[in-house]
Amino acid sequence: MSGNPSSTSWSPTIVVPPDNNLASSSTSGPSKKKKQLQGWKHSAAGSLGGMTGAIVTSPFDVVKTRLQSDMFKHHDSLPTKTIRRGGAWHFVDTVYMIRRIAVDEGWRALYKGLGPSLVGIIPARAINFYFYPTSKAYLAERFPNAPTEKEGQTAEDSPLIHLGAAVIAGITTATGTNPIWVVKTRLQLSARKIQPSSSSPILHPSPIPSSSGLPKPIIQSIAALPHLPSSTPSSSITPSRLSALDMTLQIIRQEGFRGLYRGLSASYLGVSEGVIQWVLYERFKRLNSDKPPSSKSQSLAAYITGIVSASGGAKAVASLITYPHEVVRTRLRQPDVGGKKRYTGLIQCLRLVIKEEGVKGLYGGLTAHMFRVVPNAACMFLIYELVAERLGS
């Protein structure tokens, strides 16, 4: 140790090999600096990315919630004849819902629940992006011999470590933020018609010729829009707009504090989505980074493309596999109808939806959900990676 000042010229040759070959070693200067990013910096980067994605995709979140709920099922859906014509009805139903909400309730209604969403995104992403890398480092330290895919990889590259870290982060996030999502869901399910003024013309879609090139189901659906009833059921019209605080107090008065944790069991079931997403994201990102000969020579455009494709692809696969839990969670969180609780538990809700609506009822709002979560995830992880790299430097 006393000879350290006299051998300063040798220090670069001593530090560089551990940084390249022993990335998981805590004795390496550069590696240790990189591990220190697992604290508040991960939380800050994840929160910023999550808020940006939530703002951009808020209209699809409102549409998704209403299509998932049975409160708007018979008012916002397209006619049965149109639905039976094929898979195009998913897209048409989503576009129709956006238009109907804007006409009946105003464009501001497409951003209902954005306040609680932003309030919820901060702790949710902070918790998730804090606990995932922290748990990954902890589990890798406890299980250094975890199986890896390639020789030379560390325990932190093991899919089993990724899975375990994602489970811990998902359960912690779901438990801590469930009340926020209950309030957001209630706000999005509340509808208030705008009062038409005498100077406001009634909007009707212009007829589309059959030679326009669009598929027949879409043409027929658009042509049927003026003849459809209003999307807002009279039972759900509220005399005034409720703020997030008012909705929270209303839930506590009517249902107690337990009402803020409705749908928690479905949220725990949804942890599987986060697990699949994190594992696939790590895998896709590694595959992308292995393509160029040197990561340092990778262009910014190629880097952004890699992150967007990895995060968007992982979210798309995870959402398609686990989507039914989203419908169940929304049903469990919706308010009581006529003073009666329609859905009392996870299993009961699953059975009732399948009995009354069939299996397809578990996929209501799927298109709107995919329109929201895929770009949301791409935006969130891109900003997270850029900010985290900047903070790390």
Q: What is the pLDDT of residue 132?
A: 92
The answer to whether residue 281 sits within a structural domain is yes
Q: What is the pLDDT along the chain (393 residues), one digit of tens a residue?
A: 444 444 444 444 433 344 433 334 444 444 434 445 556 788 888 889 988 888 888 888 888 777 777 666 555 444 444 444 445 556 677 777 788 888 888 888 888 878 877 877 888 888 999 999 899 999 999 999 998 888 888 888 899 999 999 999 999 999 988 888 888 888 878 765 555 555 444 445 445 555 545 555 555 555 554 444 444 444 444 444 678 888 889 999 988 888 898 888 888 888 999 999 999 999 998 887 654 434 566 688 888 899 999 999 999 999 999 999 888 888 888 887 777 788 888 899 999 999 998 998 888 878 878 888 899 999 999 999 888 888 876
The answer to whether residue 22 sits within a structural domain is no
The answer to whether residue 225 sits within a structural domain is yes
The answer to whether residue 17 sits within a structural domain is no
The answer to whether residue 309 sits within a structural domain is yes
The answer to whether residue 16 sits within a structural domain is no
Q: What is the pLDDT of residue 88?
A: 55
CA–CA distance, 259 with 251 (Å, rounded to integer): 6
Residues 6+ apart with CB under 8 A from 185: 65, 113, 263, 330, 333, 334
State which residues form the domain around 158.
39-191+205-392
Q: What is the pLDDT of residue 44?
A: 87
Tens of pLDDT, residue by residue over 50-85, are 888 888 888 888 887 777 776 665 554 444 444 444
- DSSP assigned state of 323: T
The answer to whether residue 289 sits within a structural domain is yes
Residue 162 identity (one-letter amino acid): H
For residue 184, give both structure tokens: 């957001």
CA–CA distance, 360 with 331 (Å, rounded to integer): 15
Tens of pLDDT, residue by residue over 94-152, are 777 788 888 888 888 888 878 877 877 888 888 999 999 899 999 999 999 998 888 88
Distances (CA, A) of 352 to 75, 77, 80, 343, 348: 20, 20, 21, 8, 6
The total number of residues shown for the chain amounts to 393
Q: What global pTM score does this model have?
A: 0.65
The answer to whether residue 108 sits within a structural domain is yes
Number of domains in the chain: 1
Q: Find the CATH number of the domain harbouring 310.
A: 1.50.40.10
Query: For tokens 């359960």, what's the residue?
Result: 171
